[in-house]
Structure 1
Amino acid sequence: MTATLPRETSGDDAIPAAVRRAEPIVWRNPHRGCAASVLAASAFSKADMRGAEARWRRFDPLLAKLFAGTQDGRIDSPLLPLPADLARRVLGGAPGSVWVKADHDLPVTGCIKARGGVYEVLTYAEALAGAAGLLRPGLSYAAFASGAFRDLFARHTIAVGSTGNLGFSVGVMGRALGFAVEVHMSHDAKAWKKQRLRELGARVVEYPGDYGRAVAAARDAFRDRADAHFVDDEDSVDLFLGYAAAALDLQRQLAAAGIAVDAAHPLYVYLPCGVGGAPGGVTFGLTLLFGDAVRPVFVEPVASPCMLVQLAAGLDRSVSVYEAGLDNRTAADGLAVASASLLIARTVGALIDAVVTVPDADLFAWLKALWTGAGMRLEPSAASGFAAVGGFVGGAEPADLAAATHVVWTTGGAHLPDAEFEAALAHA
């Protein structure tokens, strides 16, 4: 399940030929810079991440009241050691330990998108409540679930463009507070994801074409509505900061496990990438905490490497995978994105260590291996990180790996219907 992949390390900003041929590749980012310098030039800071963390904690009482699966209102997942036999297979014989940040089993939504989608809904609700004079000193935010708060929220709509998981995260939180919710999706998004949104009471709007068209149409429809909020997956600061706060959770868990992260003990984090919001936010947060000791590796399907294409081509304009001759067709529906977020590419592009592209067949193979070997129920997109590790470490210097920790960040799967999961297993 681990291929020998071509490596392109040139500073040339041309899209690599292997990418255009839809072949797996490890693209070592020639634009990576010193973490301190990149962060110093950023529009965002550690104070922004800490502010997001503080907002999460204000809403702990509300989340604990609404969702029984949370631990004291925290939306977080465990950090799990991968069984030794699987770790050896993942690493392809290279040294190091492998851990799993298990957002495939995240409370409330069973996917990483809760960290951004739920957070943005809460941010909007807090802003509305403040403007309406409903906030007062000492107020428990559990009050957001009842009375005048719900009456206020019922007069407003939250909309989002999504391939499924972000829409579900926005929908679950929005409907729990009484908002009207619209989710704009491409016609080829998974039918079961559309159905679960309708069961929540959300309105699903379908479009011909891909995810990007659905987002653009929704953005236009809600541009001037004072009674509505559009969650813009391509350009949302709130989504970005909600994801960034997840770095604090991982920092706490690494410390509890006795895992050092410093120049002598690098941390490689493998992050499935669609439009880029979730991996971009996590990358930014981890870099704020660990500097150059963290090595973020983005993982994309060979048919949809939108972040690789964008970074390779430059940041002057948005560049799609279609321009590279690719079709954006992949079983990893959460990663089937033609154009990366320019906000994310410009904010964290110089912090990404590498981008690894993987074929769909590897996603299914690792999905089955993780299920049979560790009992992890993953969507194909969530298995992509495991498919990337072996090829990536195969080209690393041994000294870089001897004391390294590898964290594969899973992104969805716990809520996958049985029939869908069994069909995915059958593909392996």
Structure 2
Amino acid sequence: MTEKIAGKTLEEWVKESPIIDTLVNGEVVFWINDKKKGFEEAKDTVQFNRADVIDAEERLQRFAPFIKQEFADTEALDGLIESPITHLEAFQKELEDRYQVNIAGQLYLKRDDLLPIAGTIKARGAIYEVLCHAETLALESGLLESTEVNYRVFSEPKFREYFSQFKVIVGTTGNLGISTGVMAAKFGFDAIIHMSNDAKQWKKDYLRSHGVTVIEHNTNFTEAVNQGRIAAEADPQSYFVDDENSKYLFLGYTTAASRLKKQLDQEGIKVDADHPLFVYLPCGVGGSPGGITFGLKHTFGDNVHCFFAEPSHVPSLLLGLITGEYANVSVFDFGIDGKTVMDGLAVPRTSQLVAPLMENFFDGGYTVLEDEASQTLTRLVDVEKISLEPAAVAGLSGPAKLFKTQAGQAYLSAKGLMDKQDQITHIAWATGGSMVPDEDKKAFYEAGLVK
């Protein structure tokens, strides 16, 4: 009897959506989301709205005095956790040469590898969720009199003493754990991180050095998350940061959009119907690219075009969206091994919260080969002297794929952008890398040297 995947055989899925055969074979794809609606229609079909984004922005502002006081690397931005953008003029030429295609417009890198505290995009969502939890507990206990007081009070010993009776638990491949663990420990919570077998040793060591308990599992991301969830459910004093289903993670990521708009305004970069913005976001479970895209759409409407990037061996969101089964299918169901050097994206099953929500907002997605990612990482060091971790470079090939593929060209044509290509601003979102130990950086670099 032929095994079925969500009620259909593989052959039936391929017949329905031939691109699935390409994904199963590990070949690169550039996929356009034909289910996506225009922003004005889409925004009224989902559970979150602009008010939720504003609420998140205001909470981060309330906590800024505490963050500034506790983390020296946030002083320059008065306690905001934000990263710069870098113009990649030379690397744009490098991509053109390597992919043999002309990339119209200008390419920039969003440097979330330089985010304070954790050096990873996960700092946006994970730290925000810990802040939400701390604020809720403090208000409920009466320690925090109101949201109008100066939040530097969270540094007082009585807050740490109170929070020490509670646990904060998360399951992760690494970066979410760093962001959650470091901030939770700073408040005084007992931080416990369940890590999958994809997690790098240096991330485990870093967390332990900050007083965080690390529990290692010889299993994949999905099962590590499940083990963390089970542990939290068994302890009424525990709070679980759920990378697969958390609205707080999602909303924390959305706040990046208004800050990016300010940066673009400062650089004199227009975003409007004649000056499109294309953003390319590495994607694991989908929370960070989903939240950022949601915020960008609320900021720029249909003038921003957002594409997610996945490893060719772990196209979990692509499969979830193409089949319409979201988190009900995993890459393993389709015989894909889920193994990748882009460990931060090694998520076999997409988010049940984000996938159906973002079907209305993502413009498309694409896959990246293993050697492709490694070579991009190495050449970025050579050309721009920027060192990222492998998962963080997935967005950089996006512009080349947009102009190189038939699907990309068809998208530009359908959106009426063929005569506006030179005015496109491309932003590849770098998701981490500044905290990687030198020996690991050396290994990443050597892996991308063309033999």
CA shift at 1:285, angstroms? 0.3
Residues in 1 aligned to 2:340 and 2:320: alpha-carbon distance in whole angstroms: 18
What residue identity is the alignment partner of 2:309?
V
- Give, as a single letter, the amino acid of the residue that structure 2 aligns with 1:75: I
For structure 1, the residue ranges without an aligned partner over 5 or more in a row are 1-9
Residues 364-391 of structure 1: per-residue CA shift (max 9 Å, x gap): 1111121121121200000111123211
Structure 2 counterparts to residues 116-131 of structure 1, below 5 A: 116-131=125-140
2:443 corresponds in structure 1 to 423
**Cα distance between partner residues in 1 of 2:15 and 2:31:** 11
- Is 1:97 equivalent to 2:95 in the alignment? no
Partner of 2:415: none
Q: Secondary structure at the match of 1:181?
A: strand
Post-superposition offset of 1:13 = 4.9
Counterpart position of 2:81: 75
Partner in structure 2 of residue 38 of structure 1: 42
In the alignment, is the contact (CA less than 8 A) between 1:320 and 1:338 conserved in 2? yes
Measured in 2, the distance between the counterparts of 1:336 and 1:50 equals: 31
Cα distance in 2 for residues equivalent to 1:392 and 1:238: 32
Residue number in structure 2 paired with 1:49: 53
**Structure 1 counterpart SS, 2:419:** helix
Contact 1:11–1:31 under 8 Å retained in 2? no
In structure 2, what residue type is equivalent to 1:58?
A: R
Alpha-carbon distance between aligned partners in 2 of 1:173 and 1:222, rounded to the nearest angstrom: 18
Q: Superposition pairs for residues 198-277 of structure 1, below 5 Å?
A: 198-277=208-287
1:273: how far off? 0.1
Asked whether the 8 Å contact 2:326–2:355 carries over to 1, the reply is no
Q: Is the 8 A contact 1:62 1:143 kept in 2?
A: yes
Displacement of 1:185 after TM fit?
A: 1.1
Q: Which moved more, 1:214-223 or 1:117-126?
A: 214-223
Q: Residue 395 of structure 2 corresponds to which residue in structure 1?
A: 385
Distance 1:369 1:131, change over 3 A: same
With the length of structure 2 as denominator, give the TM-score of the two structures: 0.90
Name the % identity: 39
3-state secondary structure, aligned to 1:268: strand
Q: What are the equivalent positions in structure 2 for 1:16-415 lying under 5 Å apart?
A: 16-70=20-74, 71-82=77-88, 84-90=89-95, 92-137=101-146, 138-315=148-325, 318-394=328-404, 395-396=408-409, 397=412, 398-399=418-419, 401-415=421-435
Secondary structure at the aligned position of 1:23 is classed as coil
Aligned residues: 418
Do 1:161 and 1:218's aligned partners in 2 also have CA atoms closer than 8 Å? yes
C-alpha separation between the residues in 2 aligned to 1:412 and 1:272? Answer: 10
With over 3 angstroms needed to count, the CA separation of the structure-2 counterparts of 1:14 and 1:33, relative to structure 1, is farther
Partners of 2:58 and 2:235 lie apart in 1 by 29
* CA offset digits 1:247-283 (Å, max 9, x no partner): 1111111111111112221111000000000000000
Indicate the residue corresponding to 1:3 in structure 2: none
Deviations 1:323-347 (A, max 9, x none): 2221000000000000010211111
Give RMSD over aligned pairs: 1.6
Q: Aligned to 1:222, what secondary structure does the other structure show?
A: helix
Paired residues of 1:15 and 1:324 also in contact (CA < 8 A): no
Q: Give, in whole Å, the separation in 2 of the partners of 1:104 and 1:407.
A: 14
Instruction: Give yes or no for contact 2:181–2:191 (8 Å, CA) kept in 1.
Output: yes
Alignment TM-score, normalising by the size of structure 1: 0.94
Structure 2 runs not aligned, ≥5 long: 1-13, 413-417
Q: Distance in 1 between matches of 2:350 and 2:373?
A: 21
Task: Determine if contact 2:289/2:308 at 8 Å carries over to the other structure.
Answer: yes
CA–CA separation in structure 2 for the residues paired with 1:226 and 1:58: 28
Q: CA–CA distance in 1 between the matches of 2:66 and 2:53?
A: 21
Q: Is the 8 A contact 1:24 1:302 kept in 2?
A: yes
Structure 1 consecutive aligned stretches of length 4 or more whose deviation exceeds 4 Å:
10-15
Q: Which amino acid aligns with 2:419?
A: A
- Aligned residue for 1:297, secondary structure, equals strand
Shift of 1:151: 0.9
> Hey, what's the Cα distance between the residues in 2 that align with 1:307 and 1:186?
19
**Cα 1:413–1:126, aligned 2, differ >3 Å: closer, same or farther?**
same
> In 2, are the aligned partners of 1:315 and 1:345 still within 8 Å (CA)?
no
Structure 1 CA distance, aligned partners of 2:327 and 2:58? 35
AA aligned opposite 1:169: S
Question: What code does the residue aligned with 1:114 have?
Answer: A
Distance in 2 (CA, whole Å) between partners of 1:117 and 1:14 is 37
